[in-house]
Amino acid sequence: MHWRHVVAGERSERLYTVDAVPKYTETYYEDYYVPDAPTMLYTFGICSRSPLDHLINRRGGKHTFHYILNGRGWFNGMPFEEGDIVYCSESLPRSISSNRNDPCIYTWVSFSGGKSETYIRQMGITQPYLIYRNHNQTEIERIFYEMMEVDHPEMETALFLESSLLRLMSLSAINPQSAASVSEITARANKRVEAAMQFISEHFRESDLRLEDVEKAANTNKKYLQRIFKEELGISIYQYVTKLRMDAAVALLTNSNYNINEISEYVGYNDRRTFYELFKKHFGTSPIKYIPKE
C-alpha cells in the first residue's frame, strides 16, 4: 500500500490519500463487494478552512468523519462548533463552510468496505449525516498526530494506519455521555426541516425556486415550515437559500474563470444587480474583491 501526501497551498490543507492500487480503490469494492470485505482507510488529513474556502456539494468516501478542533461553521446548513463530530455518508453531498468570525480547523478520515456498514451501526449511527459531541478529543487528536507526523519504520504502514482507523471509530461511537448532545444538536433533525434542507441543497441554483416547492418537499404547510426551520437553524428559509448561493458564488469567484455575470446566473440570480446587492449585504463587500489578482 502506498500513500500520497498532498499539501494544498493557500487552503492550509494537508491530505493523505491512497494511490490507485487495485486492492485499495473504491472500484475494488464496487466490483467485488462482499459482506465480509474489510474496512479500508481511503483519505485522512487536516484542514484550516477559511471563510472564503468552502466545500459545496462535494462527495467523498463512503463514510467520512470530521473532528472539529476549534472554531465554528456550517455543515449542510447545520451549525457545528469545537468539540463536535460531523459524520456523513456517500449518499449525501456535503457542504462545509466556516463561521466568518470564528473559522474552523478540523481533521477528517474517510473509509469504505463491507464491514464499514456494520461498524457504523455498532457506533450508534443510523442516518446519513449527523453532528454530535466528541468526548474523546484529546485521544483522537493524538491518533491523528501519530498518523500524520510520526514515522513508524518498524511497522507496516497499511496495518498501522488501518488500526488507527479502528481506534478512531471506537472513540467516535455514540455513548450514553454523548446521547444528550446528539439529541440537542440533531434535534434539528426534525424530518420536515431535514427534507426542506435536502431539497434546497439540490435546487438552490434554480432562479425560479419557490417556497411552495420547499413546502411540498417537506410535506407540510408553509407557515409551520417557516417557524420550525427558523427555530432549528436560527435563520429563515430565505436566508438559508441566500447563504448557499453566496457560499457557492464565493467558491466560484475564487476558484474558477467564470465572470461575475455567469456566476450570478449559476447561483440563481438572473438579475446581476440583485446579486451584487445581496452579495454586498452578506459579505460586506463587492464580489469583485474576491476575484484573485493575477
Exposed / middle / buried, residue 176 (Cβ in 10 Å: 0-12, 13-18, 19+): exposed
What number is the average pLDDT over the span 114-124? Answer: 83
Among candidate residues 98, 70, 83, the one with its CA nearest the CA of residue 185: 83
- The contacts of residue 67 (CB under 8 Å, 6+ apart) are 85, 106, 107, 108, 134, 137, 140, 141, 144, 172
At 53 the pLDDT is: 65
Domain spans of the chain, in order of start: 3-187, 190-290
Amino acid letter, residue 104: C
Rounded CA separation 249/210 (Å): 20
CB contact at 8 A, 109 and 167: no
Which of these CATH numbers, 1.10.490.10, 1.20.140.150, 1.10.10.60, 1.10.10.10, describes 190-290?
1.10.10.60
Output b/e per residue, 37-61; b: 16+ Cβ within 10 A: eebbbbbbbbbbbbbbbbbbeeebb
Q: Which tens digits make up the pLDDT trace of 187-234?
A: 444 678 878 887 888 888 899 999 999 999 888 888 888 888 887 777
Q: How confident is the model at residue 178 (pLDDT cuts 50, 70, 90)?
A: very low
DSSP 27-54: HHHHHS--TTPPPEEEEEEEEEE-TT--
- Is the predicted pLDDT of residue 152 greater than 80, yes or no? no
Q: Which tens digits make up the pLDDT trace of 276-290?
A: 999 998 888 888 887
Q: Which residues pair with 104 in a beta bridge?
A: 49
Q: Which tens digits make up the pLDDT trace of 228-276?
A: 888 777 788 998 899 888 888 887 887 777 888 888 998 999 988 999 9
Among candidate residues 93, 126, 86, the one with its CA nearest the CA of residue 107: 86
Residue 133 three-state SS = strand
- Is the predicted pLDDT of residue 171 greater than 90, yes or no? yes
At 170 the pLDDT is: 92
Write down the CATH number for the domain with range 3-187. Answer: 2.60.120.10
The domains spanning 3-187 and 190-290 adopt the same CATH topology? no
